[in-house]
A = this chain, B = another copy of it.
Amino acid sequence: MAARLGEVSAPARVAGPEEGVTVEELALAARNHGLPLEALRYDVTPPGLHYVLTHYDIPAADPDTWRLTVRGEVREPLTLDLDALRARPAVTRRVTMECAGNGRALLSPRPVSQPWLVEAVGTAEWTGVPLRALLAEAGVRPAAVEAVFTGADHGVERGVEQDYRRGLPLAVAAGDDPGVLVAYAMNGAPLPPQHGHPLRLVVPGWYGMAHVKWLRDITLADRPFTGFQQTTAYRLRQSPEEPGEPVTRIAPRALLLPPGFPDFMSRVRVVRPGEVRLEGRAWSGHAPVARVEVSTDGGAGWQDAELDPPDAAHPWAWRRWRHRWTAAPGRHVLSARATDGQGHTQPLDQPWNRGGFAVNLVQRVEVHCLDGAAGEPEGS
């Protein structure tokens, strides 16, 4: 099987020194999408603007016949339909989610995969049943050490045919920090198809690969999961031979809502001289963000931004920050850098890894400030 699938499914690779983005990467970029950065203005990202990454196809799901099974090392296996899940006590959590591959296409050399720049993020309010409640109901046996989650999305990756499947250590799956959800609603409405309709996992603080979409099975296992998405993909490696460290929680990141207005093609920003109110969002999956610094001179100098007060109701959501800048004519590079309550921060020079995972290099926003005498736009 692997040999035949090898004809359609190449090993992971890194782009050559002068190699532009390939048509294969472009096909991924055309189907998946990031958050348009101006959507950082919303506390909760409207549907359709939240980032989406789908490994294979979005499955056709019939909510009337959908079943979630909970089985393996449990005393009472469960088979639940959507009504049964909706009848259980529900919680809603506001969660900032980020793709583990965010920032990959800025690396040099560039790992060849979904080519994110900085925009693979979004914040939504997810409603569902706490996973720990379902596990308590099923009665996890002492032999269990891991929960394995299977989605309905099916495909081939690096020669391996698979349903998308990921594991979580039992302590994470059954714990209350971060409080994993089996979610059936996003922003108060049924999940959209691309976000896992009708059911998905939500693991606050973890990168997106853990939030298994189109969730159809949870199996409690007596050993750690070693499937493709756990031990081949989503590892931090320098070379293909090493086992690597697993990708887990989100590294801190701040993003700037780009000021002024853009050039269509270059996305360079244009502002006029004077005070410019800068704002953005910052998040971390390890601990709430404690500090955001802003540079308006390409990283030479940094000043503390003003953070919105901490919001105890939403510990897993991004935090807004603001900063005032007086723009003078010429070219400027704006950046922001987040530090969380555990002291994790963003690097100015990116430590490279072969998969392009957990890349939280500071964003650089190029801004051109026109001089005051600049003319009027077309049609005004």
Question: Do residues B30 and A58 form an inter-chain contact, with CB atoms below 8 A?
Answer: no
**A52 contact set on B, CB distance < 8 A:** 33, 48
**A270 contact set on B, CB distance < 8 A:** 5, 8, 155-156, 161
Question: Do residues A57 and B262 form an inter-chain contact, with CB atoms below 8 A?
Answer: yes
Spot the interface stretch: A38-46, A62-70, A176-184: A38-46
Given A46-B193, A193-B46, A263 and B374 contact (CB-CB distance below 8 Å):
no
Q: How many residues of A contact B (CB 8 A)?
A: 84
**A380 contact set on B, CB distance < 8 A:** 163
Spot the interface stretch: A16-24, A138-146, A239-247, A310-318: A16-24
**Quick one: CB contact mask for A42-62 with B, threshold 8 Å, 1 for yes?**
000011110010111110100
List the B residue with the shortest CB-CB distance to A27: B267
Cβ of A377 under 8 Å from chain B = yes
Within the complex, what minimum Cβ distance (angstroms) separates A17 from chain B? Answer: 12
Question: Do residues B157 and A265 form an inter-chain contact, with CB atoms below 8 A?
Answer: yes
Question: Do residues A265 and B24 form an inter-chain contact, with CB atoms below 8 A?
Answer: yes
Q: Give the contacting residue for A24; candidates B119, B195, B228, B266; CB below 8 A.
A: B266
Question: Do residues B268 and A117 form an inter-chain contact, with CB atoms below 8 A?
Answer: no
**Quick one: CB contact mask for A262-276 with B, threshold 8 Å, 1 for yes?**
111111101000000
Q: How far is it, in angstroms, between the C-alpha of A258 and the C-alpha of B9 when the chains are bound?
A: 17
Question: Do residues B21 and A156 form an inter-chain contact, with CB atoms below 8 A?
Answer: no
Spot the interface stretch: A108-116, A290-298, A346-354: A108-116
Given A22-B20, A377-B162, A156 and B5 contact (CB-CB distance below 8 Å):
no
In the complex, chain A residues 353-380 whose Cβ is within 8 Å of any chain B Cβ? 368, 370-371, 374-380
Cβ of A333 under 8 Å from chain B = no
Question: Do residues A46 and B368 form an inter-chain contact, with CB atoms below 8 A?
Answer: no
**A54 contact set on B, CB distance < 8 A:** 36
Q: How far is it, in angstroms, between the C-alpha of A371 and the C-alpha of B4 when the chains are bound?
A: 9
**A370 contact set on B, CB distance < 8 A:** 1, 4-5
Q: How far is it, in angstroms, between the C-alpha of A195 and the C-alpha of B36 when the chains are bound?
A: 13
Cβ of A237 under 8 Å from chain B = no
List the B residue with the shortest CB-CB distance to A33: B33
Q: How far is it, in angstroms, between the C-alpha of A34 and the C-alpha of B29 when the chains are bound?
A: 9
Cβ of A192 under 8 Å from chain B = yes
Residues of A within 8 A of B (CB): 1, 4-5, 7-10, 19-34, 36-39, 41, 46-49, 52, 54-58, 60, 105, 112-113, 115-117, 119, 150, 154-158, 160-163, 165, 192-195, 227-228, 258, 261-268, 270, 331, 368, 370-371, 374-380
Given contacts A47-B47, A156-B270, 14 further A-B contacts (CB under 8 A): A1-B374, A8-B263, A20-B21, A20-B22, A26-B105, A28-B267, A29-B29, A31-B119, A33-B52, A36-B54, A56-B264, A57-B262, A156-B264, A160-B377
7 A-B contact pairs sorted by A residue (CB < 8 Å): A1-B370, A25-B26, A39-B58, A49-B194, A155-B262, A157-B264, A163-B380
Can you list the 8 inter-chain pairs with the closest CB atoms, starting with the nearest?
A20-B20, A33-B33, A1-B375, A48-B48, A161-B377, A21-B21, A29-B29, A8-B268
